[in-house]
Every structure is written in structure tokens, then in C-alpha cells.
Chains A and B, each alone.
Chain A
């Protein structure tokens, strides 16, 4: 399984995701944003961080960088694409995922472990999780408040494209278990073909019991053929 991690000026979770991928035996390459071609990849990861210092809007400038044209081409031909945190923001700016991420409702940068619920375990990313399984995953963001129009929200629900929702430790999805004001507690979504996943929580931070837990491992191990 070959993976590529796209690196922008200001990316800061690129090394973490590389460590997680290599731990799971991915053959990983780091790809600088000025490159105009991608190595052959089964999985492309757009990592977290603050690409271009969040200038203009989070992910806006990275979303127009040279390598992104290649990512869009690969995504459209079925390559798996995972955007984490700033990577999710970048994917919405490219149009590969619909909707956008607004400033957190409480205007604070939030860095803590939260619970999320697996809503759809029928995708390549989630096949190793149980349906409605509750994971404990770290979030660290200032703009994680997912927003989209009502037509797209209906489509997300109808086609089962909501990947994860914020919940409490018992799985209750409500306002008090919503850390950032995201629409209907949405923490991650898929595109229609389910080969693109964007999520605010950081599964790459949850692959080792020494520093956290291993709730993120199944997301990556499920991708290995």
C-alpha cells in the first residue's frame, strides 16, 4: 500500500501521520506542495496544521496550490484521499468535499480528546470499526465548526455520508457533546463515492498506547489490502 502525504508551509501534523502510516507498513512519501506530479499512491493524506498561516481563510491558499490539481485528478479517478483537520479545511476549499469549516462557536482554539461515533462503517476507511462504535480522539482546531446548506445536509443524511459525529462517552449526540458548534455534531464526512474522507479529529495521534490510545489505528489498518 503506497501513500503520499502532501506538505505545505505551515503543515505540522505531516510527520505524525507519516509515523502512523509507516507503523502500519504503508510505503509513504512526503510530497512538497510545489511538486507538479504525485508518486503512484493508493492513499493521499492532506495533514493538519496551519497551511499558509491560515491566511484569507483556513485552507484557502493551500487549496489553490500546484500539487492540488494532481490531488483532484487522483481523487476523481478513485484514489483514496484523507484530509485531517487543516486537511479537511483544504478539501472543502478545493470543492472535493462540500460545505465549509467556520470559526468554533465559542471562539476558542480547542485542544482536547473528544468522543466521536462511527456512523457509517461500510466504507474503506471505517470497515474495521463497529457501527456506532465510540472512539476517543484528539481535536485541535480553531475552525472546526462544520457548516453546509440544507440541501447538502439532506444528501449527507440520505446517502449515509456522515462519517463521524461528536458525542459523549455514552454515545449521546447533543449540544453538550458538541465541542465547536458543528452542524448536527458532524466531525467528518465522505464524498458521494466514499473515497474521500475529511475529518476534524486526529486519528494519527491515536495509534500508540504510550502517548494516547489506539482508537485511530483501525482507520489506517482498514485501508491495507
Chain B
């Protein structure tokens, strides 16, 4: 029983990652401060840093297309502010 449940739950679970970054034309003062600090630490060939957010999402769904649509909906409805942020969805193996 326990083993069966484990197998099923493994089968039905899909994992995604969502990376949220500020759009190119939006100022990223936090990224700038991190960049300046790294330059001060001697990372002289550092060119540019943009700070963002990362989400790991587990979906109880076997069908990858349905699950991806769900994650897309999560991004649009809450995770991302579409005025200032871009996002990328990746499936995690």
C-alpha cells in the first residue's frame, strides 16, 4: 500500500522552475549594488548583474502540457508583475 502510493505520487508529480527577472528597461538598483560590491571584491571582468526571483513548483499532474498551462496561469495571476517583470518556465527532471 505504502509502496504503491509512493509510485503513484511519483508518477503524478511534475516539477517546474520559474525564473522572474526585471525587464531590460526597468532599473534594478539591488542588482547594481550587488554588482558594485562584487567589483569591489576584485571581480574585475564582471560585466552586468540583474537580480531576480526563483520559484520551484510541484504540480500533482501527469500530463506535462496541462501542468505547464497551470504554471503559466500561476505566473500570470500572481507570481509575476507583467508590467515590470519577465519570466521563464523550465521543467525540472
Contacts and interface: CB of A to CB of B under 8 A. Distances in A.
Tell me whether A and B are bound partners: yes
Interface of A: 56-57, 60, 64, 93, 98-100, 102-107, 147-149, 181
A102 B22 CA distance: 11
B27 A60 contact: no
Nearest to A100: B83
A100 B84 CA distance: 8
A102 B33 contact: no
Given A99-B83, A100-B84, A147-B83, A64 B29 contact: no
B27 A100 contact: no
Given A102-B27, A148-B83, 16 more contacts: A56-B78, A56-B79, A57-B81, A60-B81, A64-B78, A93-B81, A100-B81, A100-B83, A102-B84, A103-B30, A106-B29, A107-B29, A107-B30, A147-B83, A147-B84, A181-B27
Contact of B83 (A104, A107, A149, A181): A149
Main secondary structure of the interface of B (DSSP, over half): helix
A104 B81 CA distance: 17
B29 A103 contact: yes
Main secondary structure of the interface of A (DSSP, over half): loop
Interface of B: 26-27, 29-30, 33, 77-79, 81, 83-84
Contacts of A106: 29
Contacts of B81: 57, 60, 93, 100
Contacts of A100: 81, 83-84
A97 to B, nearest CB: 11
A107 B27 contact: no
B54 to A, nearest CB: 13
21 contacts: A56-B78, A56-B79, A57-B81, A60-B81, A64-B77, A93-B81, A99-B83, A100-B81, A100-B83, A100-B84, A102-B26, A102-B27, A102-B84, A103-B29, A104-B29, A105-B27, A105-B29, A107-B29, A107-B30, A147-B83, A181-B27
